[in-house]
Amino acid sequence: MRRVVFDTNVYVSAFITPGGRGEVAYFRAVRGEVALVTSIPILTELARKLRDKFKWDDEHIKNTCHHIASAAEVVKPKTTISLLSDDPDNRILECAVEGKTELIVTGDKQLLKLETYKGITVVTLAKFLTGE
């Protein structure tokens, strides 16, 4: 089974746009079609975005993060990566390395420019869904 990390933007898409590609990807993980890996820093960044940008209340955010944690393996990265200028992007890389994933699914241009990192392929949500 493929091990994947979703960037925060994939989770935002999944929970903000019902029926959208993010939700389709997330439900693949919930159904066990892929092994989803995440970390506390990723969930923390998601919570911040949902609160600040989308004005979600704390209870809704907590329930969402618990749902993700129950569908995913939550890893605690031991290595700090400082490759990219946007720190949350580095947290995605750390999670992917620690979780021994095959894929990073993202819409982030800096991450996508990498194409691969330590043998981990970086793909768009569309490519993930089509299996390219």
By CB atoms closer than 10 A (0-12, 13-18, 19+), residue 59 is exposed
> Two tokens at 11?
């989770």
How far is Cα 112 from Cα 66, in angstroms, rounded to an integer?
28
Q: CATH assignment of 3-130, given 3.30.160.110, 3.30.465.10, 3.40.50.1010, 3.40.50.880?
A: 3.40.50.1010
The pLDDT assigned to 126 comes to 96
Question: Which CA distances in Å does 23 have to 28, 30, 91, 122, 128?
Answer: 9, 10, 22, 19, 13
Q: What's the pTM?
A: 0.95
The pLDDT assigned to 132 comes to 66
How far is Cα 114 from Cα 120, in angstroms, rounded to an integer?
10
The domain locations on the chain are: 3-130
The pLDDT assigned to 69 comes to 97
pLDDT, tens digit (0-9, with 9 covering 90-100), for 71-96 = 999 999 999 999 999 999 999 999 99
